[in-house]
Structure 1
Amino acid sequence: MRLSEIGDKEIVDLRNGSRHGQLWDAEMLFEKETGKIKSILVPDFQSKIGFLAGHDYMQLPWSSIIKIGDDIIIFESQ
């Protein structure tokens, strides 16, 4: 699967249903030795206080992704 095929998918937490934007909004962290995706930094909109306030990021391990569907990426937070 190519990044261009999954970039528009919405990232959702299975545990509480919170939305974390699209994959385009996230940053990916790679393993230096292998080039494999280690984790994704997704915006944590739950900590946002106001419209113009900056947002924090939540790091989710690639192993926490449960399903990549047609329109959504589902992960389970810890």
Structure 2
Amino acid sequence: MRFNDLSSKELIDLTTGSRLGVLGQTDLEVDEKTGQILSFTIPQYSMFGLRKTETYSRIDWKQIKKIGDDMIIVETDQI
């Protein structure tokens, strides 16, 4: 699967049912040696989603439970 295929999918938390963001708005942490994705870094937005704050959430690749047509389901304990 290519990053372009993932880029417009929404990230949904299985635990809370909340929307975490759109994958295209995140940064990826990639292992330089293997090329595997290690985690997503999601910026937190201030009121009304107008600008990014200094706070980020990190989702490890291991937390992904399902990649569907429109969304990616992740299971987190706390974000």
Q: CA deviation at 1:44?
A: 3.8
TM-score, with structure 2 as normaliser: 0.82
Q: Identity percentage over the alignment?
A: 39
Aligned to 1:16: 16
The letter of the residue matching 1:9 is: K
The letter of the residue matching 2:64 is: I
| Between structures 1 and 2, the one with greater strand share | 2
Q: C-alpha distance in 2, partners of 1:61/1:70? A: 20
Q: C-alpha distance in 2, partners of 1:44/1:67? A: 23
Alignment of 1:1-78 (within 5 A): 1-44=1-44, 48=46, 50-51=47-48, 52=50, 54-55=52-53, 56-78=55-77
Task: Name stretches of at least 5 consecutive residues in structure 1 with no aligned partner.
Answer: none
Residue 5 of structure 1 aligns to a residue in which SS?
A: helix
The letter of the residue matching 1:25 is: Q
Indicate if the aligned counterparts of 1:20 and 1:43 stay in contact, CA closer than 8 A. Answer: no
TM-score, with structure 1 as normaliser: 0.82
The letter of the residue matching 1:54 is: K
Aligned residue pair count: 75
Q: C-alpha distance in 2, partners of 1:35/1:53? A: 31
Task: Name stretches of at least 5 consecutive residues in structure 2 with no aligned partner.
Answer: none
